[in-house]
Structure 1
């Protein structure tokens, strides 16, 4: 054997021991050598093409596990001469003084003995050394030889144990490979010979007798279309000592074709040359057929699909992907995803795709890809064996439909809010401002709402700004100041005047500085508008029935686009509804005013005896535009008694008003004709309502103030009343105590003519107050009547000390806001007799024939 071959064999033997070296055991041997020989350092070193410090103790401990070039190692001298190396003064010893370890000052004296393996190869050395010179005895050398033999023995035992484990693992692996249908092979590169196991023979459809056994024979069994490429792959693996992997077709003796995947690992000699290759082969025909079926599905499905490898290069593009993406399939295959679609770099697309590659978890999401695709996609990215698979569906039309549906819902919401602004707010100007609020910030940064009053005055005077809304609360004060300042400051060339005249929207762009000057006269409003910094303005008419009822001015600042045609059309629909709301609100207010005027015309002015103060109020329902059935009355009878009446007939129309007037007039006549208590008068009224065919039902309280000479002397009066199904009177004492005169009520009027009726009485004193009222003051939807009556009692008690006018006004303000029914209210205050009538009660009003004191 040549020296080179001998060295290769020795190096292989060393490698066998090195792989399984029991480092902890060898460290004990090295430590023992250092102690027995009194050296400051000890090492076990094995030599392949480099020196391996398997273990080291003492001052050399830092070199444990390191390698160094053989040429600089004293161990190399020991191995080459196959005998101990004794160095007493390294710097004077010609054999070693030029070695790197000596020149570096790492040692001054050295004793090393060879470690001889069972096969006779010197694989390394056990050595001791220290920095200064010293002598070594024969005893030292023998001791170190014995320890070296022990160390080598441990190496041999460890190597044998590892080889046994490898054998066991190999047997287990072979069994598993057989069970999984994986065949194994062994290729001798130097001879071209092949060794196959039974599984691989069966895969190729062969028997040991028909197996050719050479690599040339093997290539003959490869499909001709794959043969050249496979030969190149195998040659490259042998040349570069690199792992080998290939997928190719084989031809079986029965004429069938199978797809297989082969993988192999090269084994090299000491020079790094590939001398053998071992590996395995798997039948993947079923996988390939499945992939082909999958490919057919992918080609026909309406979803785009592309596959990219680990370098993000396209490996597959289906027909739908080719159609959607634009570039041809040939133009994409092999090309980088990021190169083909640069707009995806740095976006959510790249982030999501890379997360799939890194985590192995699929993701699904919707995303927009800019021009040239300019489309929305529903994307699903999944990990594949070779990279990432990407499914995508163009959902641009779906997104557009969703956006249109959302826009329609938003418009419907705004329309509903605009409508509710007018249905829920009785004041049309407040409703207009609330409607304007719904447009901010969706349509504009700020809005000014204006009404255009009727009349002959100049248009500037008739155009009134009733409110303004800004999206930025910090700018709301500035906008309000501008709204107030621009009253009457309009220029004749303003967009506001043009819109009022023409009834069509006008758009303004404020990039031209002169635009503001054409809208407003020079002054405070002009300056404030500049400070508000409008960028684009839209002035819209609020059209009623045949006329313009007002304007809405919508303004956007910098950073928002001008008003587009679609927006203007959308806003015209909104402002038409707002204009009709204004029109309806004004008409409703006019009708309501007429109804109240008619109702009040039916309710005559009450007398004011000099010791009594009578105050009345009538208010129509908040949403009512018809006359109602609530009424009151007060009059003096022929015998000088003061009569008070509060009542309510059924209905809320002209018929109810007519019935109310009839009942009122009949009651007056009966009260004057009959001399008797209230119950007698109401019984007669009940019969008259029936006999005269008034045709209505109603409630009423008729009360009389009575006073005998004894009562007058005692400073008291008697309130006597009869109640026909009405709410009880309320008495407020002069000391502030309030009580409901809750006595049993009789049947309604018109229900059962001839029914019996009763009288009730209460003693009154100077300063006492009697309150008569209708149900609109106390009833609330969903609330028990007793709660409303108790609320009235508490409120009247809280208002003790107010004069009758203030009492009426406060009761209406506190209790009838948002009322669902009309309200009639009559308040009687008793003043002391025999003294001057209080100035706050106004003048006494008595019929001339009853001018005497009551």
Structure 2
């Protein structure tokens, strides 16, 4: 009785360890590759774990042997065996049927063609093997093959425990597959809506979108850049509250609404935000979002003086930053803007105007660029400002790439969206690094575009 209780406790401990291994990381395939070390030697003499790639090809990803001296040999067998296995092999049958397959090693050896796989398995000398499917929802996502040497008793309760291990691994792999599919759906939706910007004469526009490192964080960040009917350039940055596919869909809806309002009415930033708030209330979107809009205007007199006015408004978003031609950075306001969109359609919004010298760069960004779990936004703004000062002399595209590398190292905790414009001098030809001049055909070809 005591011996049975100890065996039961050992099996429960193995299953608990497997669950912990699979739950502690988002890299489920790596955790699954570690499973042979959990089941050997408690449940088998050695083991190999196999996963099915997205293209349907099985691949051995982990192995373990109770004899340390035999581990390199087992690794070599795992590296070559699948390429030598015929379609009627135990592994192939288990993948197709989704049921466990038990076979003696002599039968497996006779299936293998002459070559390294047959030679290595002869040295490993298992007496028998059981191939256990790692089953997900309606599909087999991998295999756990346990081997027993001559003289080892193959206990049914050990095989049942090994199958429980395989089932937990299969469910974890399936969850990871669904999780990645959701991330790809949200990111794909988001990227499909974030279109390339126009390139008005003597104004170079650059954009970036970088999804969060964690799949669950993909959501509602967006940028936009377009020309209004009168020829003025408008930049938009925004962030829908939430981080999932629903937030990405809401982002697409708000972005389209804002575009329609701005490109039909030729309205300024405050009026565009007011119109968007009113549309959200009428349509009952149930969405909250932040946004900042910057519009670039120029009179003939300002053209002659080499100046451009930026008119901007902020609905709860971080304010634009301006890099002046001399490399200094201007902070246009505190980061606390007006009320978020979707809260009160009747709220009064403020509009700000700043005069820029040609050669200035304006950056709009979402909080993922500066947000950290261990620091506040004010500290993040200081880091961003310092980085911009150091990078002021770079071409615009390089500046944005270097900002992302320095501030989030290519793996942000939250989504990051950036849109920036560099106002090149109008008394000189458009520089080569700015690319071609591209504008919609129905926008006036004004002599003094922004």
Cα pair 1:808 1:827 within 8 Å, conserved: no
Alignment of 1:751-830 (within 5 A): 751-752=343-344, 753-761=346-354, 763=356, 766=359, 769-781=361-373, 783-790=375-382, 792=384, 801=394, 803=398, 806-807=401-402, 810=405, 814=409, 816-817=411-412, 819=413, 821-829=414-422
Alignment of 1:218-297 (within 5 A): none
Query: Which whole-Å CA distance do the structure 1 matches of 2:422 and 2:76 have between them?
Result: 47
Which residue does the alignment assign to 1:668? 259
Query: Which whole-Å CA distance do the structure 2 matches of 1:829 and 1:665 have between them?
Result: 25
CA 763–545 in structure 1, closer or farther in 2 if over 3 Å, else same = same
Q: Which residue of 9, 14, 17 corresponds with 1:414? A: 17
Q: Which residue of 170, 180, 205 corresponds with 1:613? A: 205
Q: CA deviation at 1:849?
A: 2.3
- Equivalent residue of 2:216, what SS? coil
Structure 2 residue 275 is matched with structure 1 residue 698? no
Structure 2 residue 219 is matched with structure 1 residue 624? no
Q: Deviations over 1:146-178 (max 9, x none)?
A: xxxxxxxxxxxxxxxxxxxxxxxxxxxxxxxxx
CA 468–672 in structure 1, closer or farther in 2 if over 3 Å, else same = same
Query: Which whole-Å CA distance do the structure 2 matches of 1:433 and 1:726 have between them?
Result: 44
Query: Which whole-Å CA distance do the structure 2 matches of 1:738 and 1:472 have between them?
Result: 64
Query: Which whole-Å CA distance do the structure 1 matches of 2:305 and 2:71 have between them?
Result: 65
Which residue does the alignment assign to 2:429? 835
Q: Which residue of 723, 726, 742 corresponds with 2:314? A: 723
Which residue does the alignment assign to 1:221? none
Cα pair 2:18 2:35 within 8 Å, conserved: no
Q: CA deviation at 1:782?
A: 6.4
TM-score normalised by the chain length of structure 2 = 0.78
Which residue does the alignment assign to 2:442? 849
**Alignment length, in residue pairs?**
440
Query: Which whole-Å CA distance do the structure 1 matches of 2:121 and 2:421 have between them?
Result: 56
CA 474–729 in structure 1, closer or farther in 2 if over 3 Å, else same = farther
Q: Unaligned stretches of 5+ in structure 1?
A: 1-396, 456-460
CA 815–689 in structure 1, closer or farther in 2 if over 3 Å, else same = same
Query: Which whole-Å CA distance do the structure 2 matches of 1:740 and 1:504 have between them?
Result: 65
Query: Which whole-Å CA distance do the structure 1 matches of 2:69 and 2:236 have between them?
Result: 56
- Equivalent residue of 1:749, what SS? coil
Cα pair 1:592 1:620 within 8 Å, conserved: no
Cα pair 2:182 2:245 within 8 Å, conserved: no
Q: CA deviation at 1:580?
A: 1.6
Q: Deviations over 1:413-461 (max 9, x none)?
A: 223224415xx31x55334325555445554565443223566xxxxx7
Q: CA deviation at 1:563?
A: 4.3
Cα pair 1:615 1:804 within 8 Å, conserved: no
Q: CA deviation at 1:572?
A: 0.5
Cα pair 1:468 1:480 within 8 Å, conserved: yes
Structure 2 residue 139 is matched with structure 1 residue 547? yes
TM-score normalised by the chain length of structure 1 = 0.44
Query: Which whole-Å CA distance do the structure 1 matches of 2:240 and 2:438 have between them?
Result: 28
Cα pair 2:94 2:131 within 8 Å, conserved: yes
Q: Deviations over 1:511-554 (max 9, x none)?
A: x5x74453x44344445555666565442211122222221234
- Equivalent residue of 2:180, what SS? helix
Query: Which whole-Å CA distance do the structure 2 matches of 1:732 and 1:442 have between them?
Result: 64
Structure 2 residue 60 is matched with structure 1 residue 465? yes
Which residue does the alignment assign to 1:79? none
Q: Which residue of 114, 123, 132 corresponds with 1:522? A: 114
Q: Alpha carbon RMSD of aligned pairs, Å? A: 4.2
Alignment of 1:467-616 (within 5 A): 467-468=62-63, 482-486=77-81, 488-507=83-102, 510=105, 512=106, 515-518=108-111, 520-527=112-119, 529=121, 537-555=129-147, 561=152, 563-610=154-201, 611-616=203-208
Q: Deviations over 1:251-271 (max 9, x none)?
A: xxxxxxxxxxxxxxxxxxxxx
CA 413–676 in structure 1, closer or farther in 2 if over 3 Å, else same = same
- Equivalent residue of 1:668, what SS? helix
Q: Deviations over 1:690-722 (max 9, x none)?
A: 455444332111112344556656666554422
Cα pair 2:212 2:411 within 8 Å, conserved: no
Alignment of 1:300-339 (within 5 A): none
Q: Deviations over 1:27-69 (max 9, x none)?
A: xxxxxxxxxxxxxxxxxxxxxxxxxxxxxxxxxxxxxxxxxxx
Query: Which whole-Å CA distance do the structure 1 matches of 2:423 and 2:7 have between them?
Result: 70
Query: Which whole-Å CA distance do the structure 2 matches of 1:528 and 1:731 have between them?
Result: 66
- Equivalent residue of 1:414, what SS? helix
Q: CA deviation at 1:582?
A: 1.7
CA 655–454 in structure 1, closer or farther in 2 if over 3 Å, else same = closer
CA 754–805 in structure 1, closer or farther in 2 if over 3 Å, else same = closer
Query: Which whole-Å CA distance do the structure 2 matches of 1:552 and 1:612 have between them?
Result: 56
Q: Unaligned stretches of 5+ in structure 2?
A: none
Query: Which whole-Å CA distance do the structure 2 matches of 1:814 and 1:470 have between them?
Result: 39
Query: Which whole-Å CA distance do the structure 1 matches of 2:328 and 2:126 have between them?
Result: 61
Query: Which whole-Å CA distance do the structure 2 matches of 1:831 and 1:680 have between them?
Result: 28
- Equivalent residue of 1:755, what SS? coil
Query: Which whole-Å CA distance do the structure 2 matches of 1:491 and 1:846 have between them?
Result: 60
Q: CA deviation at 1:635?
A: 0.8
